[in-house]
Amino acid sequence: DAGVIQSPRHEVTEMGQEVTLRCKPISGHDYLFWYRQTMMRGLELLIYFNNNVPIDDSGMPEDRFSAKMPNASFSTLKIQPSEPRDSAVYFCASSSLRGPIEAFFGQGTRLTVV
Amino acid sequence: KNEVEQSPQNLTAQEGEFITINCSYSVGISALHWLQQHPGGGIVSLFMLSSGKKKHGRLIATINIQEKHSSLHITASHPRDSAVYICAPHTDKLIFGTGTRLQVF
């Protein structure tokens, strides 16, 4: 398996634009997590899914953020409209409780909103 | 109070030194991860442990579930160990410490 794949790796967008981040988890993993990392707040959990169902979205900062997981192999995190304070690195991770609880992280998407 | 406390926040060492990073948490967990993040930004899971001790090369991780405490040790540290080390207890999701920035000269 190629690991957790995120795209794009870098995104620069203007304030007010819609941004969509994508994640392909490791095949067979039934948990998918979206995290955000900033200098000020470190790593924060935004939302996680179990078997494609959102379980906890309490970390989603506001209604401008939404996440979907239409199937077991794909998830999106959307920001609409984007703001400069959304600039951060967004990580996707997947894991499975059927095996060892090992979380595998994607390389992250560095988002800059200007 | 944060659910996860790491210490120290910053650590500078000379090559060859023995390094210890500590993590205390206040929540019930099923496991705990130690993560490494290099300056390039990628995050790698070093260990996942739920009891006792694990060793991988020069890295050793221990956990005491009763005391809600874990440590990461690096023996014979090397400049390539320079990174941020993050403690991440696993409840029904991963929660994160603030990280320890290690620089080895």
How far CA B19 is from CA of A11, B59, B102, in Å, comes to: 37, 10, 9
Q: What is the pLDDT of residues A79-103, one digit of tens each?
A: 999 999 999 999 999 987 655 557 7
Closest by Cα among A30, A12, A26 to A106: A26
CA distance B65 to B50: 8
3-state secondary structure labels for all residues of A36-90: EEECCCEEEEEEEEECCEEEECCCCCCCCEEEEEEECCEEEEEECCCCHHHCEEE
Determine the pLDDT at residue A95: 85
CA atoms within 13 A on the CB side of B78: 4
Stretch among A94-98, B23-27, B31-35 having the lowest mean pLDDT: A94-98
Stretch among A16-20, B36-40, B85-89, B101-105 having the lowest mean pLDDT: B36-40
Residue type, A104: F
Q: How close A74 gets to chain B, by Cα (Å)? A: 19
Q: Is 60 exceeded by the pLDDT of residue B21? A: yes
Closest Cα in chain B to A99:
B48
CA distance B84 to B101: 4
Label residue B40 by pLDDT band (50, 70, 90): confident
Q: What is the pLDDT of residues A25-82, one digit of tens each?
A: 999 998 899 999 998 888 888 999 999 999 889 889 889 999 999 999 999 999 999 9
Residue pair B58/B65 in contact by the 8 Å Cβ criterion: no
Closest by Cα among A112, A97, A87, A93 to A25: A93
Contact B93 A105 (CB under 8 A): no
Determine the pLDDT at residue A62: 86
Determine the pLDDT at residue A98: 59
Determine the pLDDT at residue A1: 64
Chain A CB contacts of B43 under 8 Å are 91, 93, 105, 108
Looking at per-residue pLDDT, the higher value among B81 and A2 belongs to B81
Q: Rounded mean pLDDT of B20-35? A: 92
